[in-house]
Amino acid sequence: MENCELEYGAAARLKEGVLDPGLCSGCGACVGFCPYIKSYNERVAIIHNCQICEGICYRICPRGFTQYMSLRREVFGAADFDPVLGAHKEIYFARAAEEKIRSCGQYGGVVSALSVFALKEGFIESILMTGGNVKGTKPVLVSSASGVTECAGSKYTAAPTLRLFQDAVRKGYQKIGVVGRPCQVTASRKMQQASEINGQCISLVIGLFCMGSFSPEFYTFINMKDLGSYDRMDIPKDVHFRGSGQEIIIPFEEMRQFIRNACLSCYDPLSELADISVGSTEYDPDWNALILRTTKGSELVEQACASGYIEIKPYPPELLPILRKAVFRRKKRVLERPDFTYLNLSAQEREYFLSTGDDD
Protein backbone atom coordinates (compact mmCIF):
# COMPACT_ATOMS: atom_id res chain seq x y z
CA MET A 1 0.00 0.00 0.00
CA GLU A 2 1.21 3.50 -0.80
CA ASN A 3 2.36 5.55 2.22
CA CYS A 4 2.37 2.47 4.42
CA GLU A 5 5.35 2.92 6.76
CA LEU A 6 4.82 -0.42 8.41
CA GLU A 7 6.65 -3.59 7.65
CA TYR A 8 4.12 -5.47 9.72
CA GLY A 9 0.54 -4.96 10.87
CA ALA A 10 -0.60 -1.78 12.58
CA ALA A 11 -1.86 -3.91 15.49
CA ALA A 12 1.64 -5.33 15.97
CA ARG A 13 2.99 -1.81 16.12
CA LEU A 14 0.31 -0.84 18.64
CA LYS A 15 1.15 -3.86 20.74
CA GLU A 16 4.93 -3.42 20.67
CA GLY A 17 5.04 0.37 20.78
CA VAL A 18 2.16 1.19 23.11
CA LEU A 19 0.49 -1.71 24.91
CA ASP A 20 3.49 -3.86 25.89
CA PRO A 21 5.58 -0.96 27.30
CA GLY A 22 2.56 0.19 29.36
CA LEU A 23 2.08 3.45 27.45
CA CYS A 24 -1.64 2.99 26.74
CA SER A 25 -3.63 5.87 28.23
CA GLY A 26 -6.90 3.94 28.05
CA CYS A 27 -8.55 6.46 25.73
CA GLY A 28 -10.59 3.80 23.91
CA ALA A 29 -9.94 5.13 20.38
CA CYS A 30 -8.60 1.84 19.02
CA VAL A 31 -11.46 -0.15 20.59
CA GLY A 32 -14.90 -0.20 19.03
CA PHE A 33 -14.26 -0.33 15.29
CA CYS A 34 -11.95 -3.32 15.41
CA PRO A 35 -13.18 -6.78 16.48
CA TYR A 36 -9.65 -7.76 17.57
CA ILE A 37 -9.11 -5.00 20.16
CA LYS A 38 -11.03 -5.16 23.41
CA SER A 39 -11.14 -3.19 26.65
CA TYR A 40 -11.98 -4.78 29.96
CA ASN A 41 -11.85 -2.99 33.31
CA GLU A 42 -9.96 -0.09 31.68
CA ARG A 43 -7.28 -2.40 30.28
CA VAL A 44 -6.90 -2.66 26.50
CA ALA A 45 -5.68 -5.79 24.73
CA ILE A 46 -5.32 -7.15 21.20
CA ILE A 47 -6.92 -10.59 21.08
CA HIS A 48 -5.88 -11.65 17.59
CA ASN A 49 -2.64 -11.28 15.68
CA CYS A 50 -3.98 -9.00 12.93
CA GLN A 51 -1.59 -8.54 9.98
CA ILE A 52 -3.37 -5.68 8.25
CA CYS A 53 -0.78 -3.05 7.49
CA GLU A 54 -3.34 -0.34 6.67
CA GLY A 55 -5.16 -0.85 9.99
CA ILE A 56 -5.67 2.52 11.61
CA CYS A 57 -5.48 1.52 15.28
CA TYR A 58 -1.86 2.69 15.56
CA ARG A 59 -2.47 5.78 13.47
CA ILE A 60 -5.24 7.15 15.72
CA CYS A 61 -3.59 6.15 19.01
CA PRO A 62 -2.44 9.22 20.97
CA ARG A 63 0.59 7.21 22.06
CA GLY A 64 1.41 6.10 18.56
CA PHE A 65 3.86 8.37 16.77
CA THR A 66 2.08 11.70 16.38
CA GLN A 67 2.87 14.54 13.99
CA TYR A 68 1.97 17.02 16.71
CA MET A 69 2.99 20.13 14.83
CA SER A 70 0.87 19.25 11.81
CA LEU A 71 -2.08 18.35 14.06
CA ARG A 72 -1.79 21.79 15.64
CA ARG A 73 -1.72 23.40 12.18
CA GLU A 74 -4.74 21.34 11.18
CA VAL A 75 -6.74 22.56 14.21
CA PHE A 76 -5.49 26.13 14.58
CA GLY A 77 -4.10 27.10 11.18
CA ALA A 78 -1.39 29.69 11.56
CA ALA A 79 -2.68 30.96 14.93
CA ASP A 80 -0.17 32.27 17.44
CA PHE A 81 1.20 29.45 19.47
CA ASP A 82 2.01 29.61 23.17
CA PRO A 83 4.32 26.69 24.02
CA VAL A 84 3.04 26.52 27.60
CA LEU A 85 -0.74 26.90 27.38
CA GLY A 86 -1.09 25.96 23.70
CA ALA A 87 -2.95 28.01 21.08
CA HIS A 88 -5.72 30.02 22.70
CA LYS A 89 -7.84 33.09 22.20
CA GLU A 90 -9.10 33.86 25.72
CA ILE A 91 -8.94 32.45 29.22
CA TYR A 92 -11.66 32.95 31.86
CA PHE A 93 -13.16 31.83 35.11
CA ALA A 94 -16.59 30.36 34.28
CA ARG A 95 -19.51 28.48 35.82
CA ALA A 96 -22.90 27.12 34.85
CA ALA A 97 -25.60 29.74 35.36
CA GLU A 98 -28.15 27.19 36.52
CA GLU A 99 -27.82 26.10 40.15
CA LYS A 100 -29.11 22.60 39.28
CA ILE A 101 -26.17 22.01 36.93
CA ARG A 102 -23.64 23.64 39.27
CA SER A 103 -24.69 21.35 42.08
CA CYS A 104 -24.01 18.17 40.10
CA GLY A 105 -20.90 19.48 38.32
CA GLN A 106 -17.39 18.73 39.50
CA TYR A 107 -16.65 22.43 40.03
CA GLY A 108 -18.68 25.09 38.22
CA GLY A 109 -20.39 22.56 35.93
CA VAL A 110 -19.19 24.38 32.79
CA VAL A 111 -18.63 21.16 30.82
CA SER A 112 -22.18 20.00 31.55
CA ALA A 113 -23.77 23.39 30.85
CA LEU A 114 -21.91 23.81 27.54
CA SER A 115 -22.75 20.25 26.50
CA VAL A 116 -26.46 20.79 27.20
CA PHE A 117 -26.36 24.04 25.23
CA ALA A 118 -24.42 22.49 22.32
CA LEU A 119 -27.01 19.69 22.03
CA LYS A 120 -29.94 22.08 22.26
CA GLU A 121 -28.58 24.52 19.68
CA GLY A 122 -27.49 21.86 17.19
CA PHE A 123 -23.71 22.31 17.47
CA ILE A 124 -23.81 18.53 18.03
CA GLU A 125 -26.41 15.74 17.86
CA SER A 126 -24.84 13.53 20.51
CA ILE A 127 -21.78 13.57 22.75
CA LEU A 128 -19.41 10.95 24.17
CA MET A 129 -19.21 11.27 27.95
CA THR A 130 -18.16 9.31 31.01
CA GLY A 131 -20.66 8.17 33.60
CA GLY A 132 -20.19 5.81 36.50
CA ASN A 133 -18.69 6.46 39.91
CA VAL A 134 -15.66 5.72 42.08
CA LYS A 135 -16.33 1.98 41.73
CA GLY A 136 -16.18 2.04 37.96
CA THR A 137 -16.59 4.26 34.89
CA LYS A 138 -19.10 3.88 32.12
CA PRO A 139 -18.61 5.44 28.66
CA VAL A 140 -21.97 6.84 27.53
CA LEU A 141 -23.31 8.19 24.25
CA VAL A 142 -25.53 11.09 25.32
CA SER A 143 -28.16 12.95 23.32
CA SER A 144 -30.26 14.62 26.03
CA ALA A 145 -29.82 17.19 28.80
CA SER A 146 -30.66 14.60 31.46
CA GLY A 147 -28.03 12.26 30.00
CA VAL A 148 -25.44 15.03 30.31
CA THR A 149 -26.14 15.75 33.98
CA GLU A 150 -26.10 12.02 34.78
CA CYS A 151 -22.46 12.01 33.62
CA ALA A 152 -21.44 15.11 35.61
CA GLY A 153 -18.54 14.80 38.04
CA SER A 154 -14.96 13.60 37.54
CA LYS A 155 -14.02 9.95 37.77
CA TYR A 156 -10.27 9.83 38.18
CA THR A 157 -9.61 6.67 36.19
CA ALA A 158 -9.01 6.10 32.48
CA ALA A 159 -12.49 5.49 31.07
CA PRO A 160 -12.17 4.31 27.42
CA THR A 161 -14.91 6.76 26.35
CA LEU A 162 -13.88 6.89 22.68
CA ARG A 163 -14.75 3.25 22.16
CA LEU A 164 -18.37 4.38 21.67
CA PHE A 165 -17.57 6.57 18.67
CA GLN A 166 -18.46 3.86 16.17
CA ASP A 167 -21.78 3.27 17.95
CA ALA A 168 -22.56 6.95 17.45
CA VAL A 169 -21.70 6.69 13.75
CA ARG A 170 -23.78 3.51 13.37
CA LYS A 171 -26.73 5.35 14.93
CA GLY A 172 -26.45 7.91 12.14
CA TYR A 173 -25.11 10.87 14.11
CA GLN A 174 -23.06 13.15 11.89
CA LYS A 175 -22.20 15.84 14.44
CA ILE A 176 -20.69 14.07 17.42
CA GLY A 177 -19.16 15.82 20.42
CA VAL A 178 -16.45 14.47 22.70
CA VAL A 179 -15.71 15.32 26.35
CA GLY A 180 -12.35 13.85 27.19
CA ARG A 181 -9.01 13.90 28.90
CA PRO A 182 -6.15 15.45 26.89
CA CYS A 183 -5.06 12.04 25.54
CA GLN A 184 -8.60 11.52 24.29
CA VAL A 185 -8.57 14.98 22.72
CA THR A 186 -5.41 14.12 20.77
CA ALA A 187 -6.98 10.81 19.72
CA SER A 188 -10.13 12.65 18.60
CA ARG A 189 -8.08 14.96 16.39
CA LYS A 190 -6.26 11.97 14.88
CA MET A 191 -9.61 10.24 14.35
CA GLN A 192 -10.93 13.32 12.54
CA GLN A 193 -8.27 12.68 9.91
CA ALA A 194 -9.41 9.08 9.36
CA SER A 195 -12.30 9.06 6.89
CA GLU A 196 -12.33 5.21 6.98
CA ILE A 197 -13.97 5.45 10.41
CA ASN A 198 -15.98 8.59 9.60
CA GLY A 199 -13.75 10.61 11.91
CA GLN A 200 -14.97 13.82 10.27
CA CYS A 201 -18.22 13.32 12.27
CA ILE A 202 -16.41 14.53 15.39
CA SER A 203 -17.53 18.12 15.42
CA LEU A 204 -16.86 19.48 18.92
CA VAL A 205 -14.06 18.57 21.30
CA ILE A 206 -14.32 19.68 24.94
CA GLY A 207 -11.05 18.88 26.70
CA LEU A 208 -10.45 18.55 30.43
CA PHE A 209 -7.29 19.56 32.26
CA CYS A 210 -5.56 16.39 33.46
CA MET A 211 -2.35 15.73 35.38
CA GLY A 212 -2.96 11.98 35.66
CA SER A 213 -5.49 9.19 36.02
CA PHE A 214 -5.50 6.09 38.21
CA SER A 215 -4.81 2.57 36.94
CA PRO A 216 -7.28 -0.32 37.46
CA GLU A 217 -5.44 -1.24 40.69
CA PHE A 218 -7.17 1.81 42.18
CA TYR A 219 -10.41 -0.19 42.26
CA THR A 220 -8.79 -2.91 44.37
CA PHE A 221 -7.76 -0.17 46.81
CA ILE A 222 -11.33 1.21 46.85
CA ASN A 223 -12.70 -2.23 47.72
CA MET A 224 -10.02 -2.90 50.30
CA LYS A 225 -10.64 0.44 52.07
CA ASP A 226 -14.43 0.12 51.67
CA LEU A 227 -14.70 3.46 49.85
CA GLY A 228 -17.24 2.31 47.26
CA SER A 229 -20.18 4.05 48.93
CA TYR A 230 -18.69 7.53 48.39
CA ASP A 231 -20.09 8.90 45.15
CA ARG A 232 -17.79 11.88 44.54
CA MET A 233 -14.03 12.38 44.35
CA ASP A 234 -11.78 15.41 44.12
CA ILE A 235 -8.01 15.86 44.23
CA PRO A 236 -7.33 19.45 45.27
CA LYS A 237 -4.07 18.20 46.82
CA ASP A 238 -4.88 15.03 48.71
CA VAL A 239 -7.63 12.68 47.55
CA HIS A 240 -11.11 13.49 48.89
CA PHE A 241 -13.98 10.97 48.82
CA ARG A 242 -17.42 12.51 49.50
CA GLY A 243 -20.93 11.13 49.89
CA SER A 244 -24.01 11.33 52.14
CA GLY A 245 -22.64 14.38 53.95
CA GLN A 246 -19.40 12.60 54.81
CA GLU A 247 -15.85 13.08 53.63
CA ILE A 248 -12.71 11.00 53.93
CA ILE A 249 -9.28 12.28 52.86
CA ILE A 250 -6.47 9.96 51.76
CA PRO A 251 -2.97 11.48 51.45
CA PHE A 252 -2.00 11.73 47.79
CA GLU A 253 1.29 9.99 48.53
CA GLU A 254 -0.68 6.86 49.41
CA MET A 255 -2.39 6.99 46.01
CA ARG A 256 0.61 7.95 43.89
CA GLN A 257 1.36 4.26 43.23
CA PHE A 258 -1.90 4.06 41.21
CA ILE A 259 -1.03 6.77 38.68
CA ARG A 260 -1.21 5.16 35.26
CA ASN A 261 2.20 4.58 33.73
CA ALA A 262 1.16 6.36 30.50
CA CYS A 263 0.45 9.54 32.49
CA LEU A 264 4.08 9.89 33.57
CA SER A 265 5.09 10.73 30.00
CA CYS A 266 2.07 12.86 29.12
CA TYR A 267 3.06 16.21 27.62
CA ASP A 268 -0.40 17.80 27.49
CA PRO A 269 -2.07 18.68 30.81
CA LEU A 270 -4.47 21.26 29.30
CA SER A 271 -6.05 19.50 26.29
CA GLU A 272 -4.18 21.74 23.86
CA LEU A 273 -5.95 20.46 20.77
CA ALA A 274 -9.49 20.91 22.10
CA ASP A 275 -12.01 23.52 20.93
CA ILE A 276 -12.24 24.58 24.56
CA SER A 277 -10.41 23.31 27.65
CA VAL A 278 -11.94 23.21 31.13
CA GLY A 279 -10.28 22.63 34.48
CA SER A 280 -10.34 23.65 38.11
CA THR A 281 -9.32 27.17 39.10
CA GLU A 282 -7.17 25.72 41.95
CA TYR A 283 -8.62 28.65 43.88
CA ASP A 284 -12.42 28.61 43.95
CA PRO A 285 -14.20 25.23 43.71
CA ASP A 286 -17.43 26.88 42.52
CA TRP A 287 -15.82 28.05 39.29
CA ASN A 288 -13.88 26.50 36.40
CA ALA A 289 -10.89 27.69 34.42
CA LEU A 290 -11.99 27.94 30.78
CA ILE A 291 -9.64 28.26 27.80
CA LEU A 292 -11.12 29.17 24.42
CA ARG A 293 -8.97 27.79 21.64
CA THR A 294 -10.77 27.56 18.29
CA THR A 295 -13.31 29.81 16.59
CA LYS A 296 -15.93 27.10 17.05
CA GLY A 297 -15.17 26.90 20.78
CA SER A 298 -15.37 30.70 21.11
CA GLU A 299 -18.71 30.82 19.28
CA LEU A 300 -20.14 28.12 21.53
CA VAL A 301 -19.07 29.97 24.67
CA GLU A 302 -20.21 33.36 23.38
CA GLN A 303 -23.67 32.01 22.51
CA ALA A 304 -23.95 30.04 25.78
CA CYS A 305 -23.18 33.23 27.72
CA ALA A 306 -25.67 35.27 25.70
CA SER A 307 -28.36 32.61 26.24
CA GLY A 308 -27.76 32.48 30.00
CA TYR A 309 -26.23 28.98 30.17
CA ILE A 310 -22.87 29.98 31.61
CA GLU A 311 -21.33 33.00 33.34
CA ILE A 312 -17.76 34.12 32.75
CA LYS A 313 -15.40 36.59 34.41
CA PRO A 314 -11.76 37.50 33.76
CA TYR A 315 -9.08 35.00 34.77
CA PRO A 316 -7.33 36.77 37.67
CA PRO A 317 -4.03 38.02 36.18
CA GLU A 318 -2.15 37.20 39.39
CA LEU A 319 -3.12 33.49 39.02
CA LEU A 320 -1.95 33.10 35.44
CA PRO A 321 1.77 32.78 36.30
CA ILE A 322 0.86 30.00 38.77
CA LEU A 323 -0.94 28.02 36.06
CA ARG A 324 1.87 28.65 33.59
CA LYS A 325 4.52 27.53 36.06
CA ALA A 326 2.70 24.27 36.85
CA VAL A 327 2.33 23.45 33.14
CA PHE A 328 5.88 24.51 32.31
CA ARG A 329 7.31 22.23 35.00
CA ARG A 330 5.15 19.33 33.87
CA LYS A 331 6.24 19.68 30.24
CA LYS A 332 9.90 20.07 31.14
CA ARG A 333 9.78 16.96 33.34
CA VAL A 334 8.15 14.94 30.56
CA LEU A 335 10.63 16.13 27.92
CA GLU A 336 13.48 14.87 30.11
CA ARG A 337 12.07 11.33 30.17
CA PRO A 338 13.70 8.79 27.85
CA ASP A 339 10.31 7.23 27.00
CA PHE A 340 8.98 10.52 25.63
CA THR A 341 9.24 9.69 21.96
CA TYR A 342 5.67 9.66 20.67
CA LEU A 343 5.29 13.35 19.74
CA ASN A 344 7.36 15.15 17.18
CA LEU A 345 8.01 18.62 18.52
CA SER A 346 10.13 21.35 17.00
CA ALA A 347 13.68 21.85 18.23
CA GLN A 348 12.67 25.37 19.38
CA GLU A 349 9.87 24.00 21.52
CA ARG A 350 12.13 21.46 23.21
CA GLU A 351 14.77 24.10 23.71
CA TYR A 352 12.22 26.47 25.27
CA PHE A 353 11.53 24.04 28.09
CA LEU A 354 14.90 22.36 28.44
CA SER A 355 17.14 25.41 28.39
CA THR A 356 15.27 27.60 30.89
CA GLY A 357 14.81 27.03 34.59
CA ASP A 358 11.18 28.15 34.68
CA ASP A 359 8.56 29.95 32.59
CA ASP A 360 10.51 33.23 32.68
The stretch near ligand SF4 (CB under 6 A) out of 61-69, 137-145, 233-241, 285-293 is 61-69
Which of 12, 25, 273, 288 is the binder for ligand SF4 (CB under 6 A)?
A: 25
Question: 207: which strand partners?
Answer: 180, 277
Give the span between the Cα atoms of 135 and 125, in whole angstroms: 29
Binding to ligand SF4 by residue 207, rule CB under 6 A?
no
Q: Which residues bind ligand FAD (CB under 6 A)?
A: 105-112, 129-130, 137, 151-157, 159, 161, 179-181, 208-211, 213, 278-280, 288
Per-residue b or e along 253-281, where b marks 16 or more CB atoms closer than 10 Å to that residue's CB: eebeebbbebbebbbbbbbbbbbbbbbbb
Which DSSP string do the residues of 178-245 spell out, in sequence order? EEE-HHHHHHHHHHHT-GGGTGGGEEEEEEEP-S--B-THHHHHHHHTT-TT--EEE-SSSEEEEETT
Contact 76, 87 (CB under 8 A): yes
Counting residues that bind ligand SF4 (by CB under 6 A) gives 27
Helix (H) or strand (E) holding 12: helix 10-14
Binding to ligand SF4 by residue 222, rule CB under 6 A?
no
159 binds, among ligand FAD, ligand SF4, none (CB under 5 to 8 A by kind): ligand FAD
C-beta of 15 vs 190, nearer to ligand FAD: 190
Give the span between the Cα atoms of 332 and 127, in whole angstroms: 33
Which of 63, 88, 331, 332 is the binder for ligand SF4 (CB under 6 A)?
A: 63
Which of 30, 96, 128, 335 is the binder for ligand SF4 (CB under 6 A)?
A: 30
Binding to ligand SF4 by residue 233, rule CB under 6 A?
no
Of residues 269-288, which lie at the interface with ligand SF4 (CB under 6 A)?
Answer: none
Rounded to the nearest whole angstrom, what is the least distance from the CB of residue 145 to ligand FAD in the complex?
12
Rounded to the nearest whole angstrom, what is the least distance from the CB of residue 155 to ligand SF4 in the complex?
11
- Residue 233 identity (one-letter amino acid): M
